[in-house]
Amino acid sequence: MPSREHEIPLRIIQNQPALAAVLLHESLGLDVPHHTEALSTTSVLTNCDPKELNSDGATLLRDGDRNVLAIVVERQNSPDRGKRASWPAYLVNLHVRLECPAVLVVLCPDEAMARWCAKPISVGHPGFDLTPLVVGPGNTPVITDVDRAREMPELAVLSAHTHGDAHPLTLKAVVEALDATAPRNRPFYYDYVLAGLNEAARKELEGLMSVDTYEWQSDFAREYVGMGREEGREEGRAAEAADNVLLLLDARGLAVSDQVRRRVESCTDLRTLRAWVRRAATVEHAEDLFG
């Protein structure tokens, strides 16, 4: 895949900053102030402190020349207490720098992770508790309207990845969304949607992407969806297996060194990765994976 699956939702928001505001309103039910533009702002949140504080992403909403809301975007795939402890600092520093309200949105791949992230974070001062705003599978918008999919392709991509198995109309919408987005985005958006689907939904999407169905995509479909389909699918499975190895080690509370993480993430052999998944359930140390 062009990008690791867990990084793609952040890249999608970077491509379409307004999506952060849409998720804030539609997924989380919060009022978003009137604004005339949405633009990516630096995600480096360090404020004269030796310790760097870097969020995964940040969006700034402006009304004319006035900052009206800053949105810190985090992607959390596994429990990380150290990262959670830094989230209040992210908001405070961004609030000080941009002189406007700031909120935290955390993107989670499953409901268990969403529940973990949604727990309040107490910093000790009375009333100063941060309850992260969490977007998981349960409150990701379901996009089936073709016009809306073309208007905001990135939202349609998130929708199809999350809901494509249960809502086939999201797949039809995402095909239109791919038509409306920049050609450079189509391959990794397509890969990301495929990675979230079961086999039946994958076949449905691949059928919708056929050359005969959509002429606009003839070159893309022939080169990428057709000839490159098996290669792209194999890469996606390998990336998913590598993630499973690391998640299982983390869930068991085992320390994972940078060297182990690099070796797992750089492996592209699916058989080897599946063997490591099985070992990850029983090894006493992460380094024992490699036997």
What average pLDDT score do residues 99-113 get?
93
Specify the number of domains making up the chain.
3
For position 240, what pLDDT does the model report? 76
For the chain, how many residues are written?
291
| 234 part of a folded domain | no
Over residues 208-233, the pLDDT tens digits come to 876 444 444 434 444 545 444 455 55
User: Across residues 71-91, what is the average pLDDT?
Assistant: 90
Token pair of 234, please?
């194999």
If pLDDT is split at 50, 70 and 90, which confidence band does 50 have? low
Task: Give CA–CA dist 253/136, Å, rounded.
Answer: 23
128-166 tens-digit pLDDT: 899 999 999 999 999 999 999 999 999 999 999 999 999
* Domain residue limits at 279: 239-290
DSSP notation for 89-118: HHHHHHHHHHTS-EEEEEE-SSHHHHHHHT
Same domain (yes/no): 158, 111? no
Report the candidate in 231, 283, 276 with the shortest Cα–Cα distance to residue 252: 283
262: left (phi over 0), alpha (psi -120 to 50) or beta: alpha
Same domain, 45 and 135: yes
Residue 244, domain member (yes or no): yes
* CB < 8 Å & 24+ apart, contacts of 51-56: 53/86, 53/89, 53/90, 53/93, 55/90, 56/10
User: Looking at the domain assignment, is residue 169 inside a domain?
Assistant: yes
Q: Whose structure tokens read 């990301």? A: 192
Whether the model clears a pTM of 0.75, i.e. scores above it, the answer is no
Residue that the structure tokens 């390998």 belong to = 238
> Has residue 233 been placed in a domain?
no
Average pLDDT along the chain: 83
Closest CA relative to residue 158, chosen from 26, 38, 2:
26
Q: What is the DSSP string of 217-240?
A: GHHHIIIIIIITHHHHHHHHHHHH
Regarding whether 51 and 171 lie in a shared domain, the answer is no
User: Distance of alpha carbon 50 from its chain centroid, rounded?
Assistant: 29
Model confidence at 104: pLDDT above 80:
yes
Residues 94 and 177 grouped into a single domain: no
Report pLDDT for 46.
61
Q: CB of 223 within 8 A of CB of 252?
A: no
Say yes or no to pLDDT of 74 above 50: yes
pLDDT at 73: 92
> Do residues 133 and 259 both lie within one domain?
no
Q: Is 51 exposed, middle or buried (0-12, 13-18, 19+ CB in 10 A)?
A: exposed
Closest CA to 113 of 260, 243, 239: 243
Given pLDDT bands bounded at 50, 70 and 90, which one contains residue 51? Answer: low
pLDDT for res 103: 95
Residue indicated by tokens 């404020």: 47
Tens-place pLDDT, residues 248-289: 888 778 888 988 998 998 888 888 988 888 888 788 888 998
